[in-house]
Amino acid sequence: MPKNATAKIIPETRLDSARRLARATKAVKLAPAKTASAPAAYPTVENKTDYFVERNGVKFAGMHLILELWQATRLDDPKFIAETLERAAKAASATVLHTHMHHFSPNGGVSGVVVLAESHISIHTWPERNYAALDIFMCGKCDAYLAVPILREAFGAGSVQLSELKRGLIP
């Protein structure tokens, strides 16, 4: 991103928390489910809790923030990145299950993920461009927006671009 470009400002309003998609963290084999009366495109299982949320007449699974940090620093330090992503997850009231970082070379970028009970935060960095691409996907009572200032400050980003996507949007 050119230095004279303006960044999209982080929205001042935050969306309400989304409900958790699933509470189990281990894969389980399920028997074929019986479906309740619902359109074929949106099958439901009888007697199961629906963790989708409805806000302003819109029903969806969770909030996915796409965050781009420019003029960022410390993008080649996997330990610092892991600690920062975990701190951001905790600030959003998420539960950290597992963290994995991969450093491509002593001076190269880092790709990593923090797996959450409520979804994930992932990062890919290009230190040579002072750029980091992050995905923050959360459901449940987490507030993904609370992770953004932690990330912006920790990486010293001079410019931030933020996009929002409601995942599992039901028309």
Confidence of residue 48 (pLDDT cuts 50, 70, 90): low
CATH architecture assigned to 62-167: 4-Layer Sandwich (3.60)
Does residue 2 or residue 12 have the better pLDDT? Answer: 2
Type of residue found at 90: K
Residue of 17, 139, 142, 159 with catalytic role: 139
Does residue 58 or residue 49 have the better pLDDT? Answer: 58
Would residue 142 show up in a list of annotated catalytic residues for this protein?
no
Decide if pLDDT at 27 tops 60.
Answer: no
Decide if pLDDT at 56 tops 50.
Answer: yes
Q: Work out the average pLDDT over 109-127.
A: 97
**Phi, psi of 73, rounded to the nearest 5 degrees:** -125, 170
Alpha helices in the chain (DSSP H): 78-91, 147-154
Quote the pLDDT of residue 87. 99
Residue 43 burial (10 A CB sphere; 0-12, 13-18, 19+): exposed
> Where exactly are the structural domains of the chain?
62-167
pLDDT by residue (tens digit) across 57-91? 888 899 999 999 999 999 999 999 999 999 999 99
Would residue 139 show up in a list of annotated catalytic residues for this protein?
yes
Is this prediction's pTM over 0.85?
no
Confidence of residue 122 (pLDDT cuts 50, 70, 90): very high
Computed on alpha carbons and rounded to an integer, the radius of gyration of the chain in Å comes to 18
Would residue 163 show up in a list of annotated catalytic residues for this protein?
no
Decide if pLDDT at 115 tops 50.
Answer: yes
Residue of 119, 120, 142, 159 with catalytic role: 119
Quote the pLDDT of residue 10. 37
Query: In degrees, to the nearest 5, what angle opens at C-alpha 108 toward C-alphas 147 and 100?
Result: 45
Residue of 93, 103, 122, 124 with catalytic role: 124
Quote the pLDDT of residue 156. 98
Type of residue found at 12: E
Q: What is the 3-state secondary structure (H, E, C) of 34-47?
A: CECCCCCCCCCECC
Quote the pLDDT of residue 17. 29
Q: How many Å apart are CA 167 and CA 125, to the nearest integer?
A: 24
